Structure 1
Amino acid sequence: MAAQDIRKVFNDPIHGSIELHPMLVRIIDTPQFQRLRFIKQMGGVYYVYPGASHNRFEHSIGVAHLAGKLLKALREKQPELEISDKDILCVQIAGLCHDLGHGPFSHLFDNMVIPKIEPGSTWKHEEASIKMFKYLVETNKLEFNKPDLTALDFIFIKELIHSEHRVNARKWGYKGRPEEKSFLYEIVANKLTGIDVDKMDYLARDCYHLGFPNNFDHNRFIQMIRVCEVPINSEEKRRRICIRDKERYNLHILFNSRYRVFSVACTHRVVCSVQLMIADALVEAQRSGAMDLSGAKEDMEKYTALTDRVFEEILNSDSAELEESKSILNRILSRELYRHVCSIRMDGAEGGEELNLVIELLNHELLDNNLQFLRNDLNYGQGPKNPLENMYFYTKNAPNTARPLSELDDVLVFPNRFQDTFINLYDKRLNQVPVCPTVVTECLEKVTEGLEKVTEYLEEVERSPEEVPECPADLTVYLEKVTEYMEKVKKSPEDFTEYLKKINERLEKAIKDQEAMQH
C-alpha cells in the first residue's frame, strides 16, 4: 500500500482521535488548506479572550470528522437509504473545505472590510470557498478518480459547500445527487434549520477555547436522528433529517449556547472596538493603494497568501502608504482602542432593512467626527425566527412519521422573541472628550433633511421621466442608498422620518446616561 493511501489519525482536543480518509489527508497537505492555520476562527475575539487562539484549520478537520460520523450512524440505522462510501467521502470533503474561502480574521473580512472597499457587494466567503477548492484540486493535481470520484461527485461537493438551491423547494434543483438523497444536503450547511455539523463543531470548539460551558451533546444528537419523509407541499414529500421528539430540549440548548457565545464574546464591546480598528486598518491599506485586498479575493493564488498575517505585514512595513494603517494597528497593541460611547436595543420590529439604511447614512454624516455606529444582531441563527419551527421530529412509537414542532404534545417554553438588535456608537478619537449628544442629533437632522431632498428629487423624476434632472452632488450617496433599500423594503423615504425620531430620542438618552455613569 502506497504511503499516500494510508489513513492518518489526528489528535483533537474536542473529538479525541480522528481517523481521516487518505483523500482528506491529501487535501489537508496542500498550501491552500494549510493557509487556514493562519486564520483565527473567532477573528478579533482573541484580543479580548486570549484562549480564543484556535484557527479555521482544526475546525475544518472537526467538521469533516462529524460529517462522516453522522452519515455512518445513519447508514447503520437505515440501510434502506443506500448511503454509499462515496456519499460519505464527498460530504466529508465538503465539510473539510467549506471554509477555504475565509479571508483575514474570518467573518470580519466578509462583514466589515468588503462592504467598505466594495460598496453594494454581496460577496461572501462561501463563493471563494468553491473557487479555492477548485484551485486546490487543479494546482495540486489531486486525482479524484483514485477514490473513484467522478465529475458529478465534484459538482456534489461544490453544491454542499455553497448553493442557491433549497432542500424544501418544490422543484429539485441540485445536480450532484438525486432527490431521494436530499437529506445529504442538510449535513454540512443546513439552510432550513441551521442545525448542522459546522455549528456543532464551532460551538464545542469556541466554548472550549473561551472557557465557557457547552451543554449541547452532539454525540447524543447523532444517535437520535433518522431520515423520514417530510411534506414539502400538500402533495409531495421529501427525505429530510428528523430528530427524536424528546431531543428538542437538547436542540434548544444548542441555540441558547450560540446566543451566549455571540452575546458574551463575539459582540463584546471591546471585541467590536478591536474589530472596527482592524477593519479600518485593512480598508485604509486598500484605499492607499498599498494592498489590493479586493483583487486578491478574486485571484486564488494571491488569496492563498492573504491571512491574518496581513496584520504583521502592515506593522513591519516601511511603506509610507501604510502609515495610517500601521498607526491604527499600533493603537490596538498599546490598548488605545476606539471608545464605546453607548448602546441601544431596538425592538424586533425595528431591526430590519430600515435600520441598515439609517446606520449607513449616519456613518456617512459622522465621518468627519470620527464616530461610527455598529449594528449587532443576536439570535438563534435564523434571524427573528424560531429555528425549531423548520425542524421535524419522530416519536418512539412512530419512528418513520415526521411531525412538526406544533404537533408535539408538550411544547418547550420559548422566549417571546428570537433576536435582539443593538446599535453601538464608537468614538475613534484618542482623546477622552465626551461625545456631545447634539453631535448625533445634528447628524440625524442632516439625514432627515437628506431623505426629504431625495424624496423631492424622486418626485421630480417621476413627473418628468423623459427629462431626468441631474442629482445634486451632496445627494449622490443618499440616492444610491435609498434606491437600494426601497427595492428591498418597498417603502418610500418619508417612511423613515418617524423611525429617525425614535432613534434620535433613544440615542440622546443613551449618551447622557453613559456620560452620567462615567462621572
Structure 2
Amino acid sequence: MSLQMLSSLPRNVVRDPIHGYIWFSEEERKIIDSPHVQRLRMIKQTPGVSFVYPGAQHSRFSHSLGVMHVAGLYALSALLNEYESHNGVYEIVKRVLAVRNWDEFLDLRQKFEVLRDIFDDVQKVRIAGLLHDLGHGPFSHNYEMAVLSEERLTHEDLTKKLIFEMKEYLENFSPNEIVKVLCYSFPGWERIRDVFMEILRKGGLEESKITEIINEYDRDFPRKCFLGAIIGGPWDADTIDFIARDGYFAGVKEYSMFDIKRLILSMRKYRYDIIPHERACYTIVAFIEARIHMFEAVYYHRTARAADRMLGCILYYLKRSDTYKDILNFDLRDLTATYLPLTDHFIDALLEQEVRRYNIKYSIERLREKRAKIRDENLYKALLFFIRLRNRDLLKVAWPLTYELPAEISLSPKEMVIPTLKEKIRQKTLKKLKLKHEPDDLLIIIDSPEFVPIKRVPYRYTEMGPELKLLTNCGELIPLKKVSPIAERIVEMSYRQFVRVYTFKEYRKSVYEATEEVFKSTRREVSV
C-alpha cells in the first residue's frame, strides 16, 4: 500500500464487531485516550458470566465506545425526525448512517442546515454515552453491591463526580452539560436530585456553586430531559449495546438478535421524551424478547450469579481486612487519584501477591495450614474465595425458586424481607452437620434478583405514564398492547423474582434440608 493511499484512509475510526466502523472526532479521541476512559479496558463487562460463557471476556471500554456510537445515531434520528416536513430528511438520515469518519459528518453538517441546528445536542449525548460507565469499580456491579452500597453510593454517582474532574480532557465540552444528560436519564432527575447534591458536597464543592448547578439543572429539565432518555430509558443506547455485545461475546447471538438500526431509526422526540414509532412494533417485540433471553439465560444464569457473589465476597472481605482496607478506600474529593487505580487487574494482583507470599499454590488445604501465619482473618476469607474461583470450585444452588410477579408489582416476596431468615438456615445447617465448631467456609447466600423485562420511566413532563406506548403517524400516543398484544403479553408474563440459596458443594445437602424447613415455617408465619 502506497503512502498516498495510507494518507487517504479515514482517521479516528475503530473496527467494532457489533456496529462495524465507529468514528469519532479529534476532540472525542482526546477523551477516549484519557486515563479515566482507558481504565475501563481493565474492568470486565460481565465478570461472572465468563465462568459460564468463556468468550465473555470483553471490557467496559468497548461497551462505552458502542454506547457513544449508538447514542449519537439515536439522537440524530430522533431529532431529525422532528423535521419530517423538511424535504429529503430521510435522505439526510441515510447519508449520516453511511459516513465513514468525522470529517464526512462535518461536511454533511455544512451542507444541511438542519444538522447544524441539532449538532450540539448530538455531541452532548455522544460524550455522555462514552462516559456513562466511568464510575464502575473492580468486577463491575459486584463492587457496587459489596462496597459502594455501604456508602450509599452507586457507580452513577461516581461517574458524575469523575466527569467534573476531567476538565483538562473535555476541552470544548462543558462537564456540566455532560453530567446534566446523565442526571436526566433513568431513574430521572427528581429521584436523584438530593443524592446528586450530597455527592457535590462530599466532593468539596462550595455551597453557592452547588446551588447554581442545581438551579440550572431544574431550569433545563423540561427542555432537555429527552436527552437523558437516550442514555437511560425503556429502549436506551446503553441497553441496545450491552444486549447485542454481551450476546455476541458470550456466543449466544441467537438470544440477543434484533434490528438495531431499525430500532434507532424508529425513535421520535415527542415533547419531552423519546418514543418509538408504531411502524417498528415488531422490532420492539424482538428487542424485548432479546432482553428477556439475555437476562434469563446469561446474566441470571445460576453459575454466573454464583461467580458474581463470590467476587463480591472477595471485595467485601478485602474492604474489611487490616492489610488492604486503606487501599480500597477512595476520596470523593479526588477520585482521579484514589479511585482510578481500582480495577479487576489491581485486585487480582493483590491476591496473587498474597498467594505467592504464603506459598499457597492455589490449594485450600495449604491455605488452611497457613491460616495462623496470615493472622488477618478477613484477608484469609478473601483468599479462600479467590482460590476457589481459581479452581472453579463455585457456589452451588442448594435451593431454587422462581416467583412470577404481576407486572405492576416490583417488591420482594415477604419471605425474603424477614431479617432472620439467613441466620435460621445457618443454625439448622449446623445442627444437621453435627459439628462443634462452624467451618470457616460454611457460606450461605440468599440471592434474590428481580427481573424486569423493560424499564418503565414515567417522566414528570410526559404523557407516557407507566404504560409502554408508541407514536402514530398522526402524532398521537397509542398503547403497545393495541399495536401488538403479543408484546404486552410477553412483558406481563416475564416479571420474575428468582430466589436461590447458595452454598459450597460439601454443605449442599444439609443447607437444602435446612432451607426447606425454614421456608415452610416462614410461610406459615407470614400466612398467619
Instruction: State the TM-score, normalized to the length of structure 1.
Output: 0.71
Aligned match for 2:452, one of 372, 379, 383: 379
Closer, same or farther in 2 for the Cα pair 1:176/1:41, shift >3 Å?
farther
Closer, same or farther in 2 for the Cα pair 1:133/1:152, shift >3 Å?
closer
Aligned to 2:231: 188
Closer, same or farther in 2 for the Cα pair 1:340/1:54, shift >3 Å?
same
Closer, same or farther in 2 for the Cα pair 1:61/1:161, shift >3 Å?
farther
Aligned match for 2:81, one of 62, 77, 81: 77
Aligned match for 2:283, one of 246, 250, 262: 250
The DSSP-based 3-state class of the residue aligned with 1:43 is coil
Aligned to 2:310: 277
1:67 partnered with 2:124 = no
Aligned match for 2:124, one of 65, 85, 90: 90
1:358 partnered with 2:417 = yes
Q: Which moved more, 1:62-71 or 1:432-441?
A: 432-441
Closer, same or farther in 2 for the Cα pair 1:66/1:367, shift >3 Å?
same
Shift of 1:246: 3.1
- The one-character-per-residue Cα deviations of 1:404-459 (angstroms, maximum 9, x if unpaired) are 3366486746134331112111123x6366226553366569x96xxxxxxxxxxx
1:335 partnered with 2:392 = yes
* Distance in 2 between residues matched to 1:278 and 1:424, nearest whole Å: 17
* Distance in 1 between residues matched to 2:122 and 2:348, nearest whole Å: 38
Contact 2:403-2:497 at 8 Å conserved across structures:
yes
1:26 partnered with 2:30 = yes
Matches of residues 36-185 of structure 1 in structure 2 within 5 Å?
A: 36-79=40-83, 83-115=117-149, 118=150, 122-137=152-167, 141-142=168-169, 144=171, 147=172, 149-150=173-174, 153-154=177-178, 156-160=180-184, 164-165=188-189, 174-175=217-218, 177=220, 179-185=222-228
Shift of 1:101: 0.5
Aligned to 2:266: 224
Q: Which moved more, 1:344-353 or 1:207-216?
A: 344-353
Contact 2:160-2:179 at 8 Å conserved across structures:
no
* Distance in 2 between residues matched to 1:289 and 1:381, nearest whole Å: 42
Structure 1 counterpart of 2:279, which letter? Answer: K
Contact 2:55-2:250 at 8 Å conserved across structures:
yes
Structure 2 counterpart of 1:420, which letter? Answer: R
Aligned match for 2:348, one of 311, 326, 329: 311
* Distance in 2 between residues matched to 1:151 and 1:37, nearest whole Å: 22
Contact 1:384-1:418 at 8 Å conserved across structures:
no
The DSSP-based 3-state class of the residue aligned with 2:450 is strand
Aligned to 1:468: none
Unaligned runs of 5+ in 1: 1-5, 229-237, 449-495, 502-519
Contact 1:63-1:197 at 8 Å conserved across structures:
yes
Contact 1:362-1:443 at 8 Å conserved across structures:
yes
Structure 1 counterpart of 2:493, which letter? Answer: R
Aligned to 1:482: none
Aligned to 2:250: 210
Structure 2 counterpart of 1:379, which letter? Answer: V
* Distance in 1 between residues matched to 2:414 and 2:16, nearest whole Å: 42
Closer, same or farther in 2 for the Cα pair 1:252/1:287, shift >3 Å?
same
Overall identity of the aligned pairs, in %: 25
- The one-character-per-residue Cα deviations of 1:222-247 (angstroms, maximum 9, x if unpaired) are 2222223xxxxxxxxx3322222132
- The one-character-per-residue Cα deviations of 1:172-217 (angstroms, maximum 9, x if unpaired) are 9944746344422211112xxx210111011110111111223211
Unaligned runs of 5+ in 2: 1-9, 87-113, 194-214, 359-373, 430-441, 459-463
Aligned match for 1:241, one of 271, 274, 286: 274
* Distance in 1 between residues matched to 2:180 and 2:457, nearest whole Å: 31
* Distance in 2 between residues matched to 1:208 and 1:110, nearest whole Å: 25
* Distance in 2 between residues matched to 1:65 and 1:384, nearest whole Å: 23
* Distance in 2 between residues matched to 1:38 and 1:441, nearest whole Å: 41
- The one-character-per-residue Cα deviations of 1:23-72 (angstroms, maximum 9, x if unpaired) are 22111111111110011111211122111011100100111111111222
Higher relative contact order (CA 8 A, sep 6+): 2
Shift of 1:84: 2.8
Q: CA RMSD in A?
A: 3.5
- The one-character-per-residue Cα deviations of 1:254-291 (angstroms, maximum 9, x if unpaired) are 12111111111112121122122211122111222222
Structure 2 counterpart of 1:313, which letter? Answer: L
Closer, same or farther in 2 for the Cα pair 1:367/1:434, shift >3 Å?
closer
Contact 1:45-1:52 at 8 Å conserved across structures:
yes
Closer, same or farther in 2 for the Cα pair 1:326/1:173, shift >3 Å?
same
- The one-character-per-residue Cα deviations of 1:269-317 (angstroms, maximum 9, x if unpaired) are 2112212221112211122222237633745122101111213321322
